[in-house]
Amino acid sequence: MNPLELIVGPLFKVIDKVIPDPQAKAQMQLELLRLQQSGELAQMTGQMEINKVEAASPDLFRGGWRPFIGWICGAGLAYQFLLRPLLGWASAVRGWPAPPTLEMDTLLTLLLGMLGLGAYRTAEKLRGAA
């Protein structure tokens, strides 16, 4: 069986359960088939395999960008919610200018996206996927 057929079948079942409107359901299924026929679905699944190989790589420049982004997000949150309030207090006592704030919208968007993907990968590991 074609690997894409293994993906499309379960996706049709999910669409059947999630979308109650028959017209919207048919439109989603048609779009899924269009993606499969155009090769875009294969490209998407191919990218997922590339991501798995990159993440497993011991090379810092291939597999290290995910942890790097995670550490940046963690450091940003630690600064914004722990260090900045303490520095703000200390700067007020000393008469120094207040420490700068971080743009939390961008940081949280990045962090929540990573946590979502991390949670998905953890669920895969718990189910026994490689």
* Same structural domain, 83 and 47: no
17 and 35 housed in the same domain: yes
Among 2-6, 8-12, 93-97, 109-113, name the most confident range: 93-97
What's residue 42's pLDDT? 60
Domain of residue 90, residue span:
64-130
Greater confidence (29 vs 120) lies with: 29
Shared-domain flag, residues 79 and 37: no
Cα–Cα dist 118/124, whole Å: 10
Ranges 61-65, 90-94, 106-110, most confident:
90-94
Same domain membership, residue 105 and residue 47: no
pTM strictly above 0.75? no
**Rounded mean pLDDT of 51-71?**
71
Q: Are 86 and 24 found together in one domain? A: no
d(CA 25, CA 17): 9
